[in-house]
Amino acid sequence: MTPSDECYDLIEHFEGCELKAYPDPATGGDPWTIGYGHTGPEVHPGMVITQAEADALLRQDAEKVAKQVAPMVHVPLSQQEFDALVCFVFNVGIGNFAKSTLLKKLNAGDYDGAANELPKWNKAEGKVMAGLTRRREAERELFNAVA
């Protein structure tokens, strides 16, 4: 399965796009980020990219996430469920997903239980973040959408 346009749209909406590299807000430094949340050793202070480059990095990063998510899920997924998971993992990371109750419930066939885990991931540094609350609700809505 590959991410759909709906997945890319959701990531774009919540990540926003910055064409000039910026430091991690929590550390004031590493990891430096650019585009739609892209990080990596090539991202450095002063780096600037074009919108086309940001779009290409988003596709590359989301496809990488999709390839990491797919083998971890052992139950059938709709496109919407898959897209919601890719958006979620794009934000929280594959390591967090791998050890999550969400994945355990999903692989046990508890789709509703998995969807209800999404809103629990709305904190940064232990504090509820309004933006994460909105993102998790949008991911849950997409996960529960009927094609």
- Torsional sign, CA 50, 55, 56, 58: positive
> In the annotation, is 15 catalytic?
yes
Question: How far is Cα 81 from Cα 105, in angstroms, rounded to an integer?
Answer: 14
pTM equals 0.93
In DSSP notation, 44-78 reads: -TT-B--HHHHHHHHHHHHHHHHHHHGGG--S---
| pLDDT confidence of residue 147 | 60
Q: What is the pLDDT of residues 9-53, one digit of tens each?
A: 999 999 999 999 999 876 788 899 999 999 999 999 999 999 999
| pLDDT confidence of residue 125 | 80
Q: Is there a contact between 36 and 57 (Cβ–Cβ < 8 Å)?
A: yes
Q: Can you tell me the mean pLDDT for 51-56? A: 98
CATH of 5-144, one of 3.10.105.10, 1.10.530.40, 1.20.1270.10, 1.10.3720.10: 1.10.530.40
Active-site residue (options: 15, 81, 117, 139): 15
Q: Which residues of 100-114 are buried (b: 16+ CB within 10 A; e: fewer)?
A: bebbebbeeebbeeb
| pLDDT confidence of residue 87 | 98
Could you state, in order of their start, the residue ranges of all structural domains in the chain?
A: 5-144
- Torsional sign, CA 54, 56, 58, 61: negative
Instruction: Quote the DSSP letter at residue 118.
Output: G
**What does the radius of gyration of the chain's CA atoms come to, in whole angstroms?**
15
Q: What is the pLDDT of residues 97-145, one digit of tens each?
A: 999 999 999 999 999 999 999 999 999 888 899 999 999 999 999 999 9
| pLDDT confidence of residue 30 | 86
